Amino acid sequence: MDELIVKDSNGNILKDGDSVTLTKSLKVKGGGVTLKQGTLVKKIRLTDNEEEVDCKVDGMSIVLRTEFLKKR
pLDDT of 1 higher than 90: no
SS (H, E, C) 11-31: CCEECCCCCEEECCCEECCCC
Q: Is the dihedral of CA 46, 50, 55, 60 positive or negative?
A: negative
pLDDT band at 2 (very low <50, low <70, confident <90, very high): low
Q: What is the pTM of this model?
A: 0.89
- Residues 30-56 pLDDT 10s: 878 999 999 999 999 999 999 999 999
* Contact criterion met (CB below 8 Å) for 42 and 57: no
Q: What is the mean pLDDT of residues 64-68?
A: 97
At residue 46, the pLDDT reads 96
